Every structure is written in C-alpha cells, then in structure tokens.
Amino acid sequence: MNQDARTLTLAEIAERLGARLEGDGGRRVSGLATLREAEPDQVAFLANRAYLKDLPGTRAAAVLLAPGHAGTCPVARLEMDNPYLGYAELSRLFDPLAGRTPAGIHPTAVVADDVRLGAEVAIGPQAVIESGVELGDEVVIGPGCVVGADSRIGPGSRLHANVTVCHGVVIGARAILHSGCVIGGDGFGFAHDGARWHKIAQLGGVVLGDDVEVGSCSSIDRGALGDTLIGDDVKIDSQVQIAHNVQIGDHSALAGCVGIAGSTRVGRHCMLGGGVGLSGHLTIADGVQVTGMSLVTNSILEPGIYSSGTGAMDNAQWRRNAVRFKQLDDIARRLARLEKAGRSG
C-alpha cells in the first residue's frame, strides 16, 4: 500500500500526539512501520518489550516509545507513556483512506426522495438508500451498500462497500461498518406446532451506539419485539453472529467468529476471544474475558477470565485421551471406591 499520501514533520507529530520530541523537529516523515522494517523517512514505535531487541538497529527517522526505553534508541525519539496509543493515533494520521472520499451522491446511486441528508454526505456508486432514511453529517456510504427504510445513521459514520443495513436500524456517530456485514437481518424465531415451524416476524430493530465498529461479513440480527442493543465503543470483528435481543455493554470487544445466542446480555468492558460461543438468555458481568473458542452455557456474574475446551495435542495422544473422557465419570467413581476401601482397609 502506498502510505505516502501525506508527510508530517516530527514536530507536528509530537504536537498531535502530545509526545516529547528528542531530535530534529523539522525532519519530514511519510509513513509508519515496525522497528525492523522502517525506512529513514518513516516513524517506528516500540510498544512491546519483545521488540526491544530491534531498537538499536532501526533505520527509522524517529521512534515512538516510553521514556524508560530511550536508552538504546539510535535515532530521534517521540516519548510518551503509552506509545501503543501514540501508534494508534499516528496510524490514523497516515491513513490513506482518511479524507479520500469527496462528498456527493454518485449518479448511479438510488436515493429515495424523502431521505434526509446531513452536510458533506458521500454516497457511492450503485448504493441504495430507501425511503425515510436519515444520514448525518459526513456520513460515507460505500459502493453497493443498501440502507433500508427508516434507518438512521449518525454523523461521521462510514459504511464500506457492500454493507447491508436493513430497515429501521439506528446507528450512532462515527460507526465503521466493514464490507459484507449485515445489520438488522431477522432474528431466528419460530414457533413449532408439533409438526412444522411458524415464523415469528421480527418486529424489533437494532440500535448501535456511538463509535461502534463491525467487521466484514458479520451479522447483527434485529430483535423479536424489543431491539438488539450494541453499546458505545463496542468493537466487533469479522464473521461474528449476534442474535436477536442481545445486549452488549459499552467498550466491549468481540474477536472474530464469536457467536452470541438470543437475549444474552454482555456487560461493559468485556472481551470475548475468537470463536467464543455464548448460549441464549445469559447474563455476563462487566469486565469478563472469555478465552478463544470457549463455550459459555451459564451466566457469569463475576469479572475474571473464563475458559473451556482442551488444548491441541498430537492426534494419536488425543485419541487415547478423548476416549477416556467418555469414561470420566466412571473413573471418578472407581477412584472414590478405592479411596474408601483404603480408608476402611
């Protein structure tokens, strides 16, 4: 990727990041890279001790780092207490996408007559904006997106290409929705008459707070009666499934392939690892972390780290142990008998 769309001086960067600069403030840089790969016109960063070994040999113009790591830095320094946060901000300064989309409606977009548009809205080619939709200031709608009837999208939000927002969805400010994600598809609701299924129309909607990000090809289903609720600053990775009437508290993060069944409530500041599954109708407390591919079938009422499953091993070894898993209750009973025999013997 060409990151060279813009250049900044080290002094400008220091000011934007609130970092203390040791070095030539007038030097211009045009990008960001790792310590090992940075060219002399790029800034590098050190946010993890594991990479301290790469510091002495870096060719970067400057390194963003914590004051405690300044010792072996051979080049200019941008010092701040949380250099990873500095890296995040710097990455956005060099983002070639930022500001790339000019406002305006592409002539091939289909925009209903009664759509309300804020200032500086951009609507890409082949997009469809249905009746009753409201788009806030500086919203960017990518090519091929569909925004369903009566939905509202808050200011500064960006839908990448081929996103689907169904009818009656509410999205807050500064959302980022990646390609292929679907917000507001029907929840999975059916009544059984003893022989066949009868569809339950999903009459609720989806409400996303501010600063929500949703990864590519993820699904957030609409509620059956009330709404599916995603809090502020919730970050959702790719290939995630969020069922109807789920609630996710503010600042929680869900890694790829997570699946959450209906009506489960996840607290604030939770982190779900990749592939985690939560059963329906659970309550997960604030501050809970669940490690990758764990299955949670009961509510978790205390913050902490939770896990299930078994680690990978050689298949032959695994086969021997997995067979024994089926005997585990029997093993436990036999052990208890032996213990009892030993005590009485």
Give 24 or 291: the residue with its C-beta nearer to a copy of itself: 291
For the segment 240-279, give every residue that binds a copy of itself (CB under 8 A). 240-241, 243, 251, 253, 255-257, 259, 261, 274-275, 277, 279
Task: Determine which residue in the list 215, 231, 249, 267 makes contact with a copy of itself, applying CB under 8 A.
Answer: 215
Distance in Å, CB of 323 to a copy of itself, minimum:
8
Residue 301 touches a copy of itself, criterion: CB under 8 A: no
Among 115, 134, 143, 208, binds a copy of itself (CB under 8 A): 143
Which among 283, 292, 288, 285 has a CA at the least distance from the CA of 304?
Answer: 288
Name residues whose C-beta falls within 8 Å of residue 274's C-beta, 6 or more positions apart in sequence: 237, 255, 256, 257, 258, 292, 293
**HSE value, Cβ hemisphere, 13 Å, CA-based, for 315:** 0
Distance, in Å, from the CA atom of 298 to the CA atom of 292, rounded to the nearest integer, reads: 17
- Choose, by CB under 8 A, the member of 26, 102, 193, 344 that binds a copy of itself: 193
Give, as ranges, the residues between 38 and 67 that touch a copy of itself (CB under 8 A): none
**Segment contacting a copy of itself (CB under 8 A): 10-18, 53-61, 114-122, 148-156?**
148-156
Of the candidates 172, 205, 249, 267, which one interacts with a copy of itself according to CB under 8 A?
Answer: 205
CB distance 188 to 243 below 8 Å:
yes
Residues 151-180 that bind a copy of itself (CB under 8 A): 160-162, 164, 166-168, 176, 178-180
Distances (CA, A) of 303 to 258, 283, 286, 287, 306: 19, 12, 6, 5, 9
Map residue 16 onto helix, strand or coil.
Answer: helix
Give least dist CB 276 to a copy of itself, A. Answer: 9
Instruction: Return the residues of window 21-40 that contact a copy of itself according to CB under 8 A.
Output: 31-34, 37
∠ CA 28-29-33, nearest 5°, is 165
Q: Please, what is the minimum distance in Å from the beta carbon of residue 196 to a copy of itself?
A: 5
For the segment 90-129, give every residue that binds a copy of itself (CB under 8 A): 91-92, 94-98, 100, 106, 108, 110, 124-126, 128
Beta pairing partners, 9: 28
In whole angstroms, the minimum distance from the beta carbon of 279 to a copy of itself comes to 6
Q: How many residues bind a copy of itself (CB under 8 A)?
A: 145
User: Is residue 295 within a helix (H) or strand (E), and if so which, with residue range?
Assistant: strand 295-296
Q: Scan for tokens 């009485």, then name that residue.
A: 344
CB 126 within 8 A of CB 108: yes
Pairing of the two strands 164-165 and 197-199: unpaired
Q: Which residue has the tokens 């969805």?
A: 169
Is 217 a binder of a copy of itself (CB under 8 A)? Answer: yes
Piece of the chain touching a copy of itself by CB under 8 A; list 17-25, 63-71, 113-121, 305-313: 305-313
Instruction: Please state, in angstroms and rounded to a whole number, the distance separating the CA atoms of residues 247 and 6.
Output: 40
**Could you tell me the smallest distance in angstroms from the CB atom of residue 214 to a copy of itself?**
10
310 binds a copy of itself (CB under 8 A): yes
DSSP state of 19: P
* Residue 298 C-beta: closest distance to a copy of itself, Å: 7
CA separation, residue 331 to residues 76, 160, 311, 334, 338 (Å): 64, 55, 21, 5, 11
Site for a copy of itself contains 7 (CB under 8 A): no
Nearer to a copy of itself, 124 or 155 (CB): 124
Which residue from 138, 109, 144, 128 is spatially nearest to 153, judged by alpha carbons?
138
- Nearer of residues 9 and 179 to a copy of itself, judged by Cβ: 179
* Annotated catalytic residue, options 69, 160, 178, 244: 244
244 is catalytic: yes
The residues annotated as belonging to the active site are 244
